[in-house]
Amino acid sequence: MAHARNVLPFHTNETTNGHSNGTSRDKEKQNGNNGNNDSRGTRFKLALTAKWKNELVAAAAEFAGTFMFLFFAYGGTQVANSAAAQDNPGAVGGQDNSITQTPNTSVLLYISLIFGFSLMVNVWVFFRVSGGLFNPAVTLGLYLIGAVNGVRAIMCFVSQMLAGMAAAGVIDAILPGPLNVSTTLGAGMTPARGVFLEMFLTSILVFTIFMLAAEKHKATYLAPVGIGLALFIAELVGVFFTGGSLNPTRSFGPCVVTHVFPGYHYIYWFGPLMGTLLAFAMYKIVKLVDYETVNPGQDFDDHEAALFNPPEDAENAEQVQRPNVAAITAQQAVRMASGQSDVSPDRANNVGTYMERSMSSNPPINDEEIRSNGVQRSHSQHIKGSKNRADGLQNSQSHRRNDSINQKDVSPYNHSRDGSRNRSDGLQNAIMQLSDMSVEREISRTGHIRH
């Protein structure tokens, strides 16, 4: 966006018109209004461009991620089936290039592992860019719950289909032998059975994504592990009977490359679609009953658990959501410490402890970092100014402040006869230090203090 402003400055037309038409006040005003309109139009165009840029980047990431996921999955499947064919000629492959004609559990385990681990690694790599969907069924599910907008869903779907065909084509080109990674029904499986098996297998995968990735929690960053394991256990069941598709892209790509479309190919579209709808229904049910209230506090750390004890009889998710201690304002914290709220002194003391320990893990920016951003004021001067602000904040309690300063031990947690007063002063100091840290981070990021 900064580069775009250099190319298309917002106020160029307004300034130019103002100088060239200075002889007429009305004409200057009219030209200024035109400049404002042009400026607003430029901002809209830049915002629109940025939006489409983001969608294109997400679509490109989906293509790359889907290609890498299926490249390794197809490659591992080709290896497993080629080795099985050498050990038992005629057991795999055949006219339809099936992977479901081998009852060798070691081969099925190998295929399940390569699919699960390939998905886990590539989701972990790409989920910060596009979400790491790699599957039209997953894309549809995230669209239904509102995690993905319609434009991105369509663009990701196109990218996924193209990537599936590209991955199958590359494996067919660089590995010897005919491509042997297609999904077909196993012995004794009918299309109806195949649809329902694909439905249930897909539902567990999509529901896992809903609960681990779409639902934000303390372990969201580990969601790719759970997603990969979900595909792994689904493949253990499905590979022998249906090929374990769970993904229209996974089945469509090899069919395009081999030019073989079985008459029941539709089950690899209809089954995952039904599985997504089933997972969506399950997700809506658990959200409707406020599942967060059943076992609250799972994401709390020790300090949060000490500060905010979720009620056992909570009626909705908001009452048990994870607390954001950093969102407590200075006024709220001072009121808690001074006894002007219904919060106990011990709990207010715990708030100060939490803030102090949080700051110890994120120390303030040193002088060299501040000077490197063009700020000439030293860190000690900044701290001195913070103390002055603290004195101004405590004018209403000046007599208590003076008594506290004269003491040798001003620890905010000194359990003395005046413990409540010390806790109040210590909490206020902690708040001021937290404010200093925020200001210094703003200075480091922008080079000045935002007023």
Per-residue pLDDT at 319 = 74
The whole-model pTM stands at: 0.64
Which of 105-119, 170-184, 239-253, 397-411 has the least mean pLDDT?
397-411
> What mean pLDDT comes out for the span 308-324?
73
Per-residue pLDDT at 318 = 75
Instruction: Report the alpha-carbon distance of residue 2 to residue 133 in Å, rounded.
Output: 31
- Would the pLDDT of 33 be above 50? yes
Instruction: Report the alpha-carbon distance of residue 238 to residue 268 in Å, rounded.
Output: 12
Which of 178-182, 261-265, 334-338, 372-376 has the least mean pLDDT?
372-376
pLDDT in tens, 90-114: 544 444 445 545 468 899 999 999 9
Residue 315 corresponds to which amino acid? E
Which of 72-76, 241-245, 320-324 has the least mean pLDDT?
320-324
Which of 51-60, 252-261, 350-359 has the least mean pLDDT?
350-359
Which of 20-34, 58-72, 79-93, 433-447 has the least mean pLDDT?
20-34
Instruction: Report the alpha-carbon distance of residue 292 to residue 294 in Å, rounded.
Output: 6
> What mean pLDDT comes out for the span 267-293?
95
- Would the pLDDT of 445 be above 60? no
pLDDT in tens, 389-419: 545 545 545 545 455 444 444 444 444 445 5
The residue ranges of every structural domain in the chain are 2-46, 59-288, 325-446
Q: Sign (positive/negative) of CA torsion 218, 113, 108, 70? A: positive
- Would the pLDDT of 8 be above 60? no
Residue 295 corresponds to which amino acid? N
Contacts of residue 60, defined as CB under 8 A and 6 or more positions apart, other chains included, come to 159
Per-residue pLDDT at 320 = 75
- Would the pLDDT of 169 be above 90? yes
Which residue in 231, 65, 37 sits closest to 162, CA to CA? Answer: 65
- Would the pLDDT of 115 be above 60? yes
CB atoms within 10 A of CB 172: 19
Could you name the CATH architecture of 59-288? Answer: Up-down Bundle (1.20)
